[in-house]
Structure 1
Amino acid sequence: MKLFRYVFLFIFLVSCSPKENHSYTFYYWKTKLSLNQGEKKTLDQVTFPYLYTRFFDIDKIDGKFQPVGVITKDKSFETQKQIVPTVFITNRTFLYIKKEEITFLAKNISDLIQKKVSEFDLKTNNEIQIDCDWTAGTKDDYFKFLKELQKVSGREVTCTLRLHQVKDKNQTGIPPVKKVYLMCYSTSSPLENSDKNSILDVNTLKSYLSKVDEYPIRQIEVALPIYSWGIVTNYLGKHKLINALSKNDLQNPNFKMISENEAEIRKDGFYFGNYLNKGFRIKIEEISDQQLEDVVDFLQKKIPHFNIIYYQLDNKFVTDQNFTL
């Protein structure tokens, strides 16, 4: 009887323990640095002192490393948050890369970041985040690059971590960084014929992250999606994406609803900046508060403490959104 009381008391205390409040901020992923009033208001309310800001992409084009979409800035981009320079690098950049090219790439990325920081008078912290969907075939050279970038920049280098890189860590390896950012989205391809939400399917995520508590890098931050899009399918079953659409956009007299989040076009015309034919279908994928809560509840059992970075800061996605999880 006494044992029963102890067990009951333990369950009661656990069930009544307060839920952890996670500090949060955003990714800023536009080519032009600018903030409207809604975005400024949202940013002023965040509880984490950083804004993870994309500076440029790196790709290998005709055998040469090229910066793509380097940021510009207008006077509306004013914030007290510290900027974390973030660079996306394509996986093919590291295919067949030579040792001297790794050094060249690291130095040029560091120099271009510093040039933009100085040019735009940005207040940064001491971190550079690299976003790359590396694979088993590129891991060795990518990891060498991360070490070299830290050496030449003098900053702490961190990197993103995709779901498959957790699940298949024995094949894809463990990056030589102290902190990673777990990208809890893109659970499948939006161009597949599937009933699942390709941005975030919680059951798929749980499957990939079932052993994330065994990941050897203990400092893990969590990136969560708040974006949406429409997937257009034509007569041949080919797909294309239209960003930032929501279910409200399907309320059109020229559309016939065929499910809660999918419509068929009844009349040829321009819709959302695209010419779409009668018979095309538009499926909306967006993220609910419940999905985000389910992910956070799951991860709290796996990761001791984490901050949340929402992707992304855009007035289309932050209006009337609850960010306290």
Structure 2
Amino acid sequence: MKTLKLLWIFLLIISCNKKEDHPYTFYYWKTKLSINTKEKEVLNKTTLPLLYTRFFDVDKSSGKFQPIGVIIKDTSFNLSQKIVPVVFITNRTFLYIKNDEITFLAKSISELINKKKSEYHLNTAPEIQIDCDWTAGTRDDYFKFLKELKKISGKEITCTLRLHQVKDKALTGIPPVEKVYLMCYSTSSPLENSDKNSILDVNTLKSYLKNIDEYPIKKIDVALPIYSWGIVTNYLGKHKLINALSEKDLENANFKKISDNEIEILKDGFYFGNYMNKGFRIKIESVSQQQLTEVISFLEKKIQHFNIIYYQLDSKFVTGQNFNF
């Protein structure tokens, strides 16, 4: 009896210390669907047989809804994974929107997704993910749209969930979906004067998500950042973003190193497709494996059995990464 009790305690300790596995895959966020050898190799190692693929954006201009950056497909984009269509919609699209316009928008989005699926013979999952940074002022109409899209498309409708929408849920409301994707990045604006990493500051994230375990929707998957960018600051203190820059890009004879991730330009010229003057500074922001590990560890105490979707599948970001945390 004593031996059995000791064995039970031992098994309990092993179970408690066992590392939780998180099935993972990627977002694909390019207008041209084209995948190279490295990206395909990384994708084929994923443990979630899906690829969350942006199909187009939607904005409103002069009172009219406009699809922007609709995908085109290259012959190299031939995958075994099912594709989850993702549509980004600007928050202003839902400002002063009428009920008949909500129906029109839902129908138009569903039809365009189906058109691209058919045109490019895409193997899609029965899900549409909507990405929108909705606010207290647009929440009611946005939520009506989500319900209408579900009715029109016949698909499972899911949506992204930003940090402020968790923290301020009393104001921004709870979307009428069964599953959300928690966006664990963009913890601040990269265009502000701050020493914090705007892509991911772990302490800021923990502050926003301290009560995520109380969120009414319990099916939560987690989106984590693996991207980087450069923040250019001119002599007036104004900032500009250049996507996909890394510390290696700062190795240039015309750059003076200020720190491991920041340089000052010594000579006027074109750099990374932009003309920059002497004295301009470029600071790289990226996300370390240590930061990602800390976020996952924090979320494991708050959310049960979540999948991870890394943003995004790009050879510049996936090379040398370890995704099995």
Alignment-mate amino acid for residue 281 of structure 1: R
What does residue 266 of structure 1 align with? 266
1:232-290 Cα offsets, whole Å, 9 max, x none, are 00010110011111111112111111122111111111111111110000000001000
State which drifts further: 245-254 or 232-241.
245-254
Q: Determine the C-alpha separation between the residues in 2 that align with 1:16 and 1:120.
A: 47
Alignment-mate amino acid for residue 127 of structure 2: E
Per the normalisation by structure 1, the TM-score is 0.96
What does residue 114 of structure 1 align with? 114
Q: Determine the C-alpha separation between the residues in 2 that align with 1:103 and 1:121.
A: 27
What does residue 313 of structure 1 align with? 313
Structure 1 pair 222/281, CA: closer, same or farther in 2 (3 Å)? same
Partner SS, residue 278 of structure 1: coil
Q: Determine the C-alpha separation between the residues in 2 that align with 1:157 and 1:200.
A: 27
What does residue 228 of structure 2 align with? 228
Q: Is it true that 1:209 corresponds to 2:222 in the alignment? A: no
Q: Is it true that 1:193 corresponds to 2:189 in the alignment? A: no
Question: What are the equivalent positions in structure 2 for 1:150-161 lying under 5 Å apart?
Answer: 150-161=150-161
What does residue 135 of structure 2 align with? 135
What does residue 3 of structure 2 align with? none
Q: Determine the C-alpha separation between the residues in 2 that align with 1:193 and 1:316.
A: 27
State which drifts further: 97-106 or 258-267.
258-267
Q: Is it true that 1:165 corresponds to 2:165 in the alignment? A: yes
Deviation at 1:21, TM superposition (A): 1.1
What does residue 62 of structure 1 align with? 62
Q: Determine the C-alpha separation between the residues in 2 that align with 1:153 and 1:25.
A: 25
Alignment-mate amino acid for residue 119 of structure 2: E
Deviation at 1:13, TM superposition (A): 2.2
Q: Determine the C-alpha separation between the residues in 2 that align with 1:260 and 1:27.
A: 29
Q: Determine the C-alpha separation between the residues in 2 that align with 1:274 and 1:322.
A: 32
Deviation at 1:15, TM superposition (A): 9.3
Structure 1 pair 269/138, CA: closer, same or farther in 2 (3 Å)? same
Q: Determine the C-alpha separation between the residues in 2 that align with 1:19 and 1:315.
A: 28
Q: Determine the C-alpha separation between the residues in 2 that align with 1:62 and 1:37.
A: 42
State which drifts further: 243-252 or 292-301.
243-252
State which drifts further: 256-265 or 90-99.
256-265
Partner SS, residue 194 of structure 1: coil
What does residue 181 of structure 2 align with? 181
Partner SS, residue 220 of structure 1: strand
Aligned identity (percent) is 75
What does residue 3 of structure 1 align with? none
1:130-155 Cα offsets, whole Å, 9 max, x none, are 00000000000000000000000000
Deviation at 1:40, TM superposition (A): 0.7
What does residue 248 of structure 1 align with? 248
Partner SS, residue 279 of structure 1: coil
Q: Is it true that 1:73 corresponds to 2:77 in the alignment? A: no
- Equivalenced residue count is 319
**CA RMSD for the aligned pairs?**
1.6
Alignment-mate amino acid for residue 216 of structure 2: P
Specify every segment of 5 or more residues in structure 2 that has no aligned partner in the other structure, as ranges: 1-5
Deviation at 1:25, TM superposition (A): 0.3
Q: Determine the C-alpha separation between the residues in 2 that align with 1:16 and 1:89.
A: 42
Per the normalisation by structure 2, the TM-score is 0.96
Specify every segment of 5 or more residues in structure 1 that has no aligned partner in the other structure, as ranges: 1-5
Partner SS, residue 270 of structure 1: strand
Q: Determine the C-alpha separation between the residues in 1 that align with 2:282 and 2:292.
A: 24
1:70-121 Cα offsets, whole Å, 9 max, x none, are 0000100010000000000000000000000000000000000000000000
State which drifts further: 16-25 or 116-125.
16-25
Q: Is it true that 1:125 corresponds to 2:125 in the alignment? A: yes
Partner SS, residue 291 of structure 1: helix
Q: Determine the C-alpha separation between the residues in 2 that align with 1:16 and 1:152.
A: 45
Structure 1 pair 313/62, CA: closer, same or farther in 2 (3 Å)? same
Alignment-mate amino acid for residue 286 of structure 1: S
Q: Determine the C-alpha separation between the residues in 1 that align with 2:29 and 2:56.
A: 9
Deviation at 1:16, TM superposition (A): 6.0
What does residue 35 of structure 2 align with? 35
